[in-house]
Amino acid sequence: MAPPKSKKSIAVKKPRPLVSDGSSLGARRPRKAASRSLYTPAEVHEIFRRFSVQRQEPKGELDYVNAFTLLVAVVLSAQATDAGVNKATKALFAAADTPAKMLALGEAKVGDHVRTIGLWRNKAKNVIALSKALIDDYAGQVPQDRDQLVKLPGVGRKTANVVLNVAFGQHTMAVDTHIFRIGNRIGLAPGKTPEQVEQGLLKVIPAEFMRHAHHWLILHGRYVCKARKPDCPACVIADICKSKEKTTDIPAPLVPIAPLDERFPVEA
């Protein structure tokens, strides 16, 4: 006679012990918010006032003829230089400056134009796909809404913010590598992600400067507050800057200068 089957023991999960904040060990904790800006509102205002004197009408370095070609240029600029994109798009935009013309040109011919740009095959595919989406869903017009823009092939949040700011004048902040570096390096809007830096900048930059703030910060990061070593002697905000990486000390506090003195020549 076979022995009776033993009952299977049922494992009972023990509750995880709680930590001091009341959450259980191992449980996901909410992400930490970005750190606060190191600058007072008055200091931030002075930073952007000086940028506005230095470059009254800053412009991006991508060539375009309308909102559509701007969108295409920004999509193509991912992991590529603006100069390289401009060289490739000169003939492309002469042949196709609307979604309908781009779609008619076809993926193969678009690829021929942008072959010198990194990841050109995938980018050519995205340009054709977004052109078709604009025709099918938006009557051939570039939408003026971020949620609609990011649905287009090859368009992310940064690209959408550039288009909204440059083409439509909206107060958006497109965080590229330069702006991300500056936000953290000088403590203007510290954050672990581009979106945290974006939100920090939108919070601290006065509305009167938001139209051009994106370009001021990019140009400042590209030509002055460079990745390898900041050029502090040429910096218009060196005396205000609180970065630990400053290469020179300018002890003056918040000095109002209007216009910029001869140390910081205004661009023609």
List the one residue out of 75, 120, 73 whose CA is nearest residue 97: 73
What is the token pair recorded at 55? Answer: 């470059």
pLDDT at 245: 87
pLDDT at 59: 87
Show binding-site residues for [4Fe-4S] cluster. 225, 232, 235, 241
pLDDT at 133: 98
**Cβ pair 37, 186 in contact under 8 A:** no
3-state SS assignment for residue 51: helix
pLDDT at 114: 96
pLDDT at 106: 96
Show binding-site residues. 225, 232, 235, 241
Domains in the chain, ordered, with CATH?
67-168 (1.10.340.30)
Which candidate in 176, 226, 229, 249 is catalytic?
176
Phi, psi (deg, nearest 5) at residue 192: -85, -15
Question: The pTM is what?
Answer: 0.78
Rounded alpha-carbon distances, angstroms, from residue 196 to 23, 34, 36, 45: 25, 6, 11, 20
pLDDT at 34: 64
pLDDT at 267: 42
**Cβ pair 46, 256 in contact under 8 A:** yes
Query: Does residue 176 have an active-site annotation?
Result: yes
Which candidate in 8, 109, 158, 246 is catalytic?
158
What is the token pair recorded at 194? Answer: 């581009």
Give pLDDT < 50 ranges for the chain.
12, 15-30, 251-268
